[in-house]
Amino acid sequence: MYAYDELDRTLINERVSEFRDQVKRRLSGELTEDEFKILRLQNGVYLQLHAYMFRVAIPYGTLSSKQLRRFAHVARRYDRGYGHFTTRQNIQFNWIKLAELPDALADLAEVGIHAMQTSGNNMRNVTSDQWAGVAPGEIEDPRIWSELIRQHTTLHPEFSFLPRKFKIAITAAEHDRAAIKIHDIGLRLHKNADGETGFEVLVGGGLGRTPFIAKTIKPFVPGRDILSYIEAILRVYNQYGRRDNIYKARIKILVHELGIEKFAKEVDEEWKAMGDVGLTLDHTAIEEVRSRFSYPAYEKLPHMPDELKQAAHDPLFERWRKNSVSAHKVQGYSIVTLSLKPVGGPPGDASAEQMDAVADLADKYSFGEIRVGHEQNLALPHVAKRDLPALFKALDRLGLATPNVNLVTDIIACPGLDYCSLANARSIPIAQELTRRFANHDTADLIGRLHINISGCINACGHHHVGHIGILGVEKNGEEFYQITIGGRADENAQLGTLIGPAVPYAEVADVIEDIVEAYLALRDRPEELFVDTVKRLGVEPIRERVYATR
């Protein structure tokens, strides 16, 4: 966990006071909506179909039990008893009243939570691997760097009015769980030949109506220089970014139009011209931030405790353990993913009761710490293996032990037309129907790793372009239709999916997805060949033929 210092606390509290005054002036009519809109967006407040939506940042996906309990409190007191975890390590509350927002913000500020960087054309919440600090083989904890970037960019005047929103993600593990290649800047922490820690810097990734996979702009930037290098990128973007056209304003368009070589040259020239602007991170500065992260006092525990051996006779426990429990860097401990994708449930939603209960379980079994992943699930990052059987029972009672992590029903979905003012079609009911179709865990296990991503419009909040199966809601003559892509992926081998055929109406989506999965099962080389690898080997055509032959 990261402990905020006095400066952080003052900044957050001042922000609450400022927003309280802005809301008061808006409600009195002193501020028009045009004047107020940019202010509310800077505090994570959108206006959606039914109400205001309040998006709160969970920097690098790390939460304390106290903070999660406070989310439960906000859900209960100011909303309708639940919250929605997003694909960018935020939580959204869907039914907040503007008049009560300052109070909600004040309650969150008491536990070091805020809504800065969650909307507007600025630097958004810096995200990271939800297993940061506990993943085996990790170079080092990427959250140290996430926090350094967060501190530097928060309310930075040069980054507060960018041409468009700007997102950074960081990973330090071989397997990319942070989807860095679909971010404006993706940072991969690694060591160079001399053993020095630094970053491969990727730029220009993003989804939306013009999707691009990020390209490497520099294979190695030493850690001490990362702030100045990011600043150079942002200066080039600020100078050349298309402020005249919202659809062309993201950095991905600039990188695409200039070409990565020219863009890299511009950044290098800017970087050199900047000279020493006081952004070099010396050892003391890095260690100061590192020292504010606290790590558990792990016990020396056996690799295979008796409790685990005994529980292995319970098939339900074993299924869950194999699916949702992952290796930890410390012997005797595990990382446990809590599926927020129950059969028939809205993906990523958690009730206030669940949040409170998870906070209690985190205190009991995970040193009071919870993580939030971009896949819209939670994780307990430090669970002793001896505690796994007891934890499973508790999670099962809460509906949080669905053994479907990374399987076909672990669906990423945006709120869609049920909530969102930008959406063209619904996402959640499609996800719910698919979870019912594939509810049988044996079938899901047989299918293996398969990511379905659903977006209700081209803005792609559900990351449909990079789903193994991507579903995009569109409108045709006032009806909901869905375009389906296959072969996308969001990991270290990220790529965009390919359209498989004509859009299908709402009522046929689940049938088509079932047919795609059946085609894959028939075409895969061996049971271990993942869906996405079968598509890569064979291309789209053989699956298209089977799925659309009778349509």
Partner 1 sequence: MTSPLEQKKIKITGPSVVTANRTWDGAVVYRTAKQGWSTELADSAVVSTSDDARALLAEATADDVGAVGPYIAPVELKDGGKVKPGNLREHIRAKGVTIDLQVPA
Binding residues vs partner 1 (CB under 8 A)? 26-29, 32-33, 47-52, 80-82, 96-99, 342, 344-346, 349-351, 353-354, 398-399, 417-419, 421-426, 428-429, 432, 457, 475, 478, 480
- Which C-beta is closer to partner 1: that of 508 or that of 518? 508
Of 315 and 478, nearer to partner 1 (C-beta) is 478
Q: Can you read off the two tokens belonging to residue 310?
A: 């005994």
Structure tokens of 110?
């008491």
Q: How far is CA 51 from the centre of its chain?
A: 24
**Beta partners for 222?**
198
Token digits of residue 111: 């536990």
Q: How far is the CB of 353 from partner 1 (least distance, A)?
A: 4
Angle at 94 between CA 16 and CA 23, to 5 degrees: 30
Q: Are 139 and 176 spatial neighbours (Cβ–Cβ below 8 Å)? A: no
Please identify, using beta-carbon distances, which residue of 254 and 509 lies nearer to partner 1.
509
Nearer to partner 1, 47 or 301 (CB): 47
Nearer to partner 1, 107 or 110 (CB): 107
CB of 94 to partner 1, least distance (A): 9
Q: Is 83 helix (H, G, I), strand (E, B) or coil?
A: strand
CB 105 within 8 A of CB 114: yes
Least Å distance, CB 269 to partner 1, is 39
Alpha helix ranges (H) inside 407-506: 428-437, 441-447
CA dist 312 and 333 (Å) reads 17
Nearest approach, Cβ of 334 to partner 1 (angstroms)?
Answer: 24
Helices (H), ranges, 399-437: 428-437
Give whichever of 48 and 151 is closer to partner 1, judged by the CB atom.
48
- CA dist 410 and 379 (Å) reads 14
CB of 515 to partner 1, least distance (A): 24
**Which is nearest to 62 in space by CA: 132, 145, 141?**
132
Quote the tokens at residue 457: 């419009």
Is the Cβ of residue 3 or residue 99 nearer to partner 1 in the bound state? 99
Min dist. Cβ of residue 148 to partner 1 (A): 36
How far is it, in rounded angstroms, from Cα 461 to Cα 386?
38
Query: Which residue, 365 or 419, has its beta carbon nearer to partner 1?
Result: 419
Q: Give the dihedral of Cα atoms 253, 257, 259, 262; nearest 10 deg.
A: -110
**b or e along 415-435 (b: 16 or more beta carbons within 10 Å of the residue's beta carbon)?**
bbbbbbebbbbbbbbbbbbbb
SS3 23: helix
Query: In whole angstroms, how close is the CB of 47 to partner 1 at the nearest point?
Result: 6
Is residue 130 within 8 Å of residue 61, measured between CB atoms? yes
Q: How far is the CB of 424 from partner 1 (least distance, A)?
A: 6
Q: How far is the CB of 457 from partner 1 (least distance, A)?
A: 8
Residue placing its CB nearer to partner 1 in the complex, 459 or 498:
459
